[in-house]
A and B are shown apart, each in its own frame.
Chain A
Amino acid sequence: MKRLKNMNLKNGWALVLFSVATLLMTGCLEEVRPDLSTAEPILVIEAKAIDYPDTDQDTAFVLLSLTGDYYEEQAVPKVTNATIQVTDLEANVSYELNHLEDGLYQSVFEMKENHTYQLDITYNGKNYQAADKNVPVPAIDSLKYEYLEGQLFREDGYYIYFFGSTPKEQINYYRWLVYENDSLYNDRSDILIAEDRFVQEEIAGLEFPYRFEEKDTVKIEMYSLSEDVYIYLTEFGNLLFNDGGMFSSPPQNPPSNITNLSDPEIEPFGFFQVSSVTSEEIILNPLDD
């Protein structure tokens, strides 16, 4: 029941339905290989500008690649000859990103809260552009852990609980990354995102859907997101679980917040995310408590 990890109010019902369907189905899964057509390669942009706390060494990094044949097992081709810059629209300062290796570009500069940043990419004579705002992220008050006995859909083990608050002046969007002993959970079921439209200001005891063991070091990173990026990641996650339109909506590409200025018809894939991040670490050491 990996889907439990995506638990939130909106897809709570989907989870229930999915469970019933699973119980009912005497059926099974089988690998097949329907013939697929392949579209012309399209630019894929994964761009992030992250404002780290208590430092002026904030980072923008961009990963550029092209789409490929669906069944191709080799990694997709990387784009190494693009020109990329990020502009702080409030301060009117631009930063050039340098190509490090394998399609990864980077620049380090100081980011400011509530500033909007613009991404400009030139590749193959075409210009791509996006903008996103650096929304402040509230602090994590604390993390706690607890040992739980097993029950349906949950093994016994240690579980981590989140304590914090979310300002109610506007709707906020978040993403959490969870590291267990420095190793990031990064499967399709690990896209932990939330909006706070339906929840209270105080978040006391929100469970992370991972089971840990004694001595584990668990790090949680919490990123603020704009609505655009939240929608992108929601649709991105939905598409990774899409069933072809039976119980899901018909598969569609996630709506990118990046536009192709030279050729608007050919939209790039990917997104530009500007975030503030905060993090908290906890060591599961029950004997010392």
Chain B
Amino acid sequence: MLNRAIVLFGVWIAFFSLYAQEKFTISGHIRDAGNGEGLIGATVLVKEIPGTGTTTNIYGFYSLTLPEGEYTLIYSYIGYENIENPLTLEGNTKLEIELKEEKMQLNEVVITADRPDQNVTDIKMSRENLKIEKIKSMPALLGEVDIIKSIQLLPGVQTAGEGTTGMFVRGGYYDQNLILLDEATVYNASHLLGFFSVFNPDAVKNVELYKGGIPARYGGRLSSILDIQMKDGNSKRFSTSGGIGLISSRLTIEAPIKKDKASFIVSGRRTYGDLFLKLSPDPSLNNNKLYFYDLNAKANWKIDDKNQIFVSGYFGKDILGFDRLFSFDWGNATGTVRWNHLFNDRLFLNTTLLFSDFNYGFDIDLGVQNFEWKSGLQEYAAKFDFSYFINPKLTAEFGSHTIYHTFSPATITPGGESLFLPYKIDDQFALEQAFYLGLDHHMSEKIKLQYGLRYSQLYNFGKAKVYDYEGDFENVIDSTEYNRGELVNFYHGLEPRFSAMYLLNSKSSIKASYNRMMQYLQVASNSSAGFPTDRWISADSHIKPLIGDQVALGYFRNFKENMFEASVEIYYKWMQNVIDFRQGADVLLSRNLETDILSGDGRAYGAEFMIRKNLGTFTGWVSYTLSKTERKIEGISANKYYNAKYDRTHDISVVLSYDISDHVTLATNWIYATGSAVSFPVGRAEIDGKSIAIYDDDNRNAARMPAYHRLDLSATIDLDRKPRKWQSSLSFSVYNVYNRKNAFSITFEDVTNGDPNFNPDADGAEINTVEPSAVKLYLFSVIPSITYNFTF
């Protein structure tokens, strides 16, 4: 296989270069001088050898190996002052660097050709990095800064609908995104039914989205990786920050445990709508519960030059209840322990042990209709990730990821005088194992390559009962029982990854990538918006793993001394074994889910245009995506390709912010998207005394919802003009400024008296007309909000 040959070739080069010359290594961390946080993706350049340099990893660590000699190293990071460090390299050198944040507004003259221009020269493509400060300055629904909603404004990312946090990346379904919080998988990233995402922006340091060109160290999902790192905690001084908003408040405390050696951060957030409900004298209101909270905590300890330990955890829960009639709660919990170890100046190992849990439950107590329903899943993982900085032209990443999954799809326990029987779907057990090797290869100043291979495996273990079917899952003809721990089924696959960059000139480059991804877990769902009750299932004897292949080609160009970054990317993606369900499938309670599953192929292609300005008083981006996403599934839409529900032909985002003065920032978003693809009726029938819409089942999703567009504005005003410890600001935000009534759904139903809100039980209600109609539900009109933020 060609890809294997490439990898072997890379290893050979690595081996050769080790012994070729007398070389020394400069290594260390690059950190923020203000709070000691490691800076991710900061660059180190060698002034004397243009095109030579490296960037820090997610722990802020870098390593650069050069021949003996005199050098000037330039350390830089956007929004921070550069440091130029002359040095005589005569032996291996440790250089711990701290960069200062640029306090003044950026003077455009500061931007010189020296500043590394990653847009053009880096091999990264199909990748988006959002600084948390940028996310915080964007207008937000109800003032709740939301990482996932900000990401939805990037090209190639679609939403399920207004206000929802499900992401559809380059035609992938929302369960095809691997969301990592400090390496731990977050299975359901939404609060309040998806209106808010679970990431507390105060606790987050860095957000990186991979839509394509995915390096070998990531795997497990078809369409994207959303890699989120939590802050480490201020290792310089005690600091507190927080905010009070309309629906939630936040508080973060961070402090050194031992200055520059150990620190911690604890960050919490809670909504308080329910506290107002308690004030109501009406017992049918004040007994209701509806809130969510998040708690992020992290500590780190630099044991010595070679060892550092991070312990982090996330715990979040949504709780709602109506009197004692029913209650519903769901939540994620993750825990991660990481150990950074340097074997030597060039070999870095991060070992991660982690646990992730998602569960939901509800309790219904309506007389004899009384039961409790519980569902959950857990993952236990060990990851070993090595980085080997072979020489300035070659870096190797390799490692092993082992994840053990348990799924408890549903356990129903009747309570009291319930008429229900106890019911349980058997737990499911699976182990994912992956080995990977990836090489970052700077062939020359003009050509960079990144290539690698991931080998992934899935083991299904007992206890399990596997059925054999006759025909198309029609009748069970036999079954096999497996004991606990016994191997039931095995899948494996090779996932080649390849990216290349060719620098055309100092201002422009061409990049190309190919990646194959395998996905062994997915959500069984027949709706398009994600739910807390989504049932995650593993590939097994009957359900095949998803396979995705993507090619992308891009042209990257900068203008005006790198002030403006522009890019065009085209992509094509093939997806195999995507699933849908037979009509009326009992997705949540079926013990033989395979009998309801239909599978087929998906394809997505498109072009993404982006122009971005990161520097100066006026920053932001404008992006346009032209795309198509289709599926072809045996048994649906006459076995033809049909539009995926979230297929949006045109998608435009304008995200701008302007610093009017040192103390006032204005920001705006404008979003336009073609309406989602839906099935509309092709007629009407009268059955059972009711009028019912009829559909053309051979042409699913052939109609379109009305186009979606919206303008948001915000202003952030610093209240403390003098540089003091206590800093506070007010953010005003207006969502949907011109009050577009964007359709969340359109339903086809009978409307009485021409009024969709007609209530037949109301006093004096008189029915004059009942007509078949279309009713639009729109969620948000103009929504102003105000948030107070502070830090000291």
Question: With A10-B586, A25-B779, A236-B688 known to touch, is A200 a contact of B419 (CB < 8 Å)?
Answer: yes
Question: A67 contacts which of B371, B584, B684 (Cβ < 8 Å)?
Answer: B684
Interface residues on A, range: 35 or more
| Chain A residue nearest to B527 in the complex (CB) | A247
Interface residues on B, range: 35 or more
| Chain B residue nearest to A168 in the complex (CB) | B421
Distance (whole angstroms) from the CB of B369 to the closest CB of chain A: 6
Binds B, one of A31-39, A107-115, A123-131: A31-39
Binds B, one of A90-98, A203-211, A214-222: A203-211
Contact call B778/A30, Cβ cutoff below 8 A? yes
Contact call A36/B697, Cβ cutoff below 8 A? no
Return chain B residues, CB-CB under 8 Å to A9: 369, 371, 412, 420, 589
Return chain A residues, CB-CB under 8 Å to B373: 12-13
Q: Mark A18-38, 1 if CB is under 8 A from B, else 0.
A: 011101111111111110111
Contact call B368/A207, Cβ cutoff below 8 A? yes
Contact call B781/A27, Cβ cutoff below 8 A? yes
Contact call A253/B697, Cβ cutoff below 8 A? yes
Question: B362 contacts which of A12, A29, A249, A251 (Cβ < 8 Å)?
Answer: A12
Contact call B584/A234, Cβ cutoff below 8 A? yes
Question: A37 contacts which of B192, B423, B682 (Cβ < 8 Å)?
Answer: B682
Contact call B685/A31, Cβ cutoff below 8 A? no
Is residue B275 within 8 Å, beta carbon to beta carbon, of the partner chain?
no
Is residue B696 within 8 Å, beta carbon to beta carbon, of the partner chain?
yes
Contact call B695/A198, Cβ cutoff below 8 A? no
A230 to B513, CA, bound (A): 51
Q: Mark B675-713, 1 if CB is under 8 A from A, else 0.
A: 000111111111111101111110011010110000000
Is residue A117 within 8 Å, beta carbon to beta carbon, of the partner chain?
no
Question: With A20-B320, A27-B781, A240-B692 known to touch, is A246 a contact of B745 (CB < 8 Å)?
Answer: yes
Is residue B127 within 8 Å, beta carbon to beta carbon, of the partner chain?
no
Distance (whole angstroms) from the CB of A233 to the closest CB of chain B: 8
Is residue B161 within 8 Å, beta carbon to beta carbon, of the partner chain?
yes
Contact call B678/A244, Cβ cutoff below 8 A? yes
Return chain B residues, CB-CB under 8 Å to A30: 741, 756, 775-776, 778
Question: With A188-B690, A199-B420, A231-B584 known to touch, is A207 a contact of B367 (CB < 8 Å)?
Answer: yes
Distance (whole angstroms) from the CB of A74 to the closest CB of chain B: 10
Contact call B690/A240, Cβ cutoff below 8 A? yes
Is residue A169 within 8 Å, beta carbon to beta carbon, of the partner chain?
no
| Chain B residue nearest to A231 in the complex (CB) | B584
A29 to B776, CA, bound (A): 6
Is residue B137 within 8 Å, beta carbon to beta carbon, of the partner chain?
no
Question: B526 contacts which of A71, A240, A244, A249 (Cβ < 8 Å)?
Answer: A249
Contact call B421/A28, Cβ cutoff below 8 A? no
A34 to B690, CA, bound (A): 22
Is residue B447 within 8 Å, beta carbon to beta carbon, of the partner chain?
no
A152 to B282, CA, bound (A): 10
Is residue B661 within 8 Å, beta carbon to beta carbon, of the partner chain?
no
A75 to B691, CA, bound (A): 9
Binds A, one of B295-303, B323-331, B397-405, B617-625: B323-331
Is residue B13 within 8 Å, beta carbon to beta carbon, of the partner chain?
no
Is residue B749 within 8 Å, beta carbon to beta carbon, of the partner chain?
yes
Return chain B residues, CB-CB under 8 Å to A252: 583, 679, 695, 697
Question: With A73-B772, A245-B528, A246-B528 known to touch, is A27 a contact of B421 (CB < 8 Å)?
Answer: no
Question: With A25-B779, A234-B584, A246-B161 known to touch, is A204 a contact of B419 (CB < 8 Å)?
Answer: yes
Is residue A105 within 8 Å, beta carbon to beta carbon, of the partner chain?
no
Which B residues, 769 to 785, have Cβ-Cβ distances below 8 Å to chain A? 769, 771-781, 783
Q: Mark A134-154, 1 if CB is under 8 A from B, else 0.
A: 000000000000000011110
Contact call A28/B746, Cβ cutoff below 8 A? no
Return chain A residues, CB-CB under 8 Å to B322: 19, 152-153
Return chain A residues, CB-CB under 8 Å to B774: 31-34
Is residue B187 within 8 Å, beta carbon to beta carbon, of the partner chain?
no
Is residue A46 within 8 Å, beta carbon to beta carbon, of the partner chain?
yes
Question: B419 contacts which of A186, A206, A240 (Cβ < 8 Å)?
Answer: A206
| Chain B residue nearest to A150 in the complex (CB) | B284
Which A residues, 50 to 101, have Cβ-Cβ distances below 8 Å to chain B? 65, 67-73, 75-76
Return chain B residues, CB-CB under 8 Å to A25: 777, 779
Return chain A residues, CB-CB under 8 Å to B645: 245, 250
Question: B701 contacts which of A12, A231, A250, A270 (Cβ < 8 Å)?
Answer: A250
Is residue A180 within 8 Å, beta carbon to beta carbon, of the partner chain?
no
Distance (whole angstroms) from the CB of A39 to the closest CB of chain B: 4
Return chain A residues, CB-CB under 8 Å to B371: 9, 12
Question: With A198-B421, A204-B417 known to touch, is A67 a contact of B528 (CB < 8 Å)?
Answer: no
Is residue A282 within 8 Å, beta carbon to beta carbon, of the partner chain?
no
Contact call A255/B584, Cβ cutoff below 8 A? yes
Contact call A70/B693, Cβ cutoff below 8 A? yes
Return chain B residues, CB-CB under 8 Å to A186: 688-690
Shortest Cβ-Cβ A-B pairs, 3 listed:
A27-B779, A249-B526, A29-B756
Residues of A within 8 A of B (CB): 7-10, 12-13, 15-17, 19-21, 23-34, 36-39, 41-42, 44, 46, 65, 67-73, 75-76, 150-153, 186-188, 191, 198-200, 202-207, 231, 233-236, 238-253, 255, 269-271
Residues of B within 8 A of A (CB): 160-161, 192-193, 195, 284, 288, 290, 320, 322-323, 325-326, 328, 362, 364, 366-369, 371, 373, 412, 417, 419-421, 423, 526-529, 531, 533, 581, 583-586, 588-589, 645, 678-690, 692-697, 700-701, 703, 705-706, 741, 743-751, 754-757, 769, 771-781, 783
